Amino acid sequence: MNTPSKKPTISAVLIVKNESKNLDMCLSSLNRWVDEIIILDSGSTDDTQKIAKKYTQEFHQKTDWQGFGRQRQAAQKLVKTDYLLWIDADEVVTETLKNSILTVLKQNKAKTAYSINRKSWVFGRFIEHSGWYPDKVTRLYRAGEANYSDDLVHEKVLLSEGINLQPLDGDLIHYTYDNLQHYLVKSASYAKLSADQKELRGKTTSLSKASLHAFACFVKMYLVKRGFLDGKQGFLLAVLSAHSTFVKYADLWIRSQPKPRN
């Protein structure tokens, strides 16, 4: 007689720092249906730990920051379940997405990882064009069948050979920016990390290339990706993204300029 197979287990995994504003909303969308919530903190000074302890005892700290990729690799080493679901503190799992995840866990297909459509709320509306939706991100896979790259920023999931990638139903809601100040601070941080990464790889640039990349970014987002259909927010995002692109390359150019003599 065939015995029923054991239901696979799943952990939700987060890397965080000073996320007290968002964390409760995020974790409440995971509560009671994942087997474990694992949080790796990089040195919060707010109530992040206090909020996390309401949902999990698996709260760990690693403050020797080596970039987003390395931090995610460290967090994955804490996973003991069959599957892991990556989520950021400013994201919320919808009911449709939750049910889709539970369905694929029951199916437990071999050599299969899953991508999720992420929908972002920005400056008063959901962005459904501009190249932002569907923002497909690989977030669900078996432990041991994938891991993150070493990148300082814009890290990617690297699937093991032979792993198929399939989409899940439902959206992951992303409350990405609180206001313009939040956007500018976050963008400046990412721009620096991107320039750091390019510098480490020996890359250089020029201001003319920076301008060209910025212009191409605006055209792609607002015209090619139909950002104009996202209204005023679509125009603002295209302008801000072009600015961020210019800053990223300008930072790299500045680093190659002569330093003052003593």
Q: What's the token pair of residue 188?
A: 């400046």
Fold (topology level) of 10-175: Spore Coat Polysaccharide Biosynthesis Protein SpsA; Chain A (3.90.550)
Contact 83, 105 (CB under 8 A): yes
DSSP structure class, residue 259: P
Can you give the residue ranges of every domain in the chain?
A: 10-175, 180-255
pLDDT of the chain, 262 residues: tens digit per residue: 344 468 899 999 999 999 999 999 999 999 999 999 999 999 999 999 999 999 999 999 999 999 999 999 999 999 999 999 999 999 999 999 999 999 999 999 999 999 999 999 999 999 999 999 999 999 999 999 999 999 998 899 999 999 999 999 999 999 999 899 999 998 999 889 899 989 989 999 999 999 999 999 999 999 999 999 999 999 999 999 999 999 999 999 999 999 888 7
Question: For residue 190, how far is the Cα from the chain centroid?
Answer: 12
Contact 52, 23 (CB under 8 A): yes
DSSP structure class, residue 249: H
> Rounded to an integer, what distance in angstroms lies between the CA atom of residue 193 and that of residue 107?
39
187 three-class SS:
helix
β-bridge mates for residue 121, sequence order: 126, 175
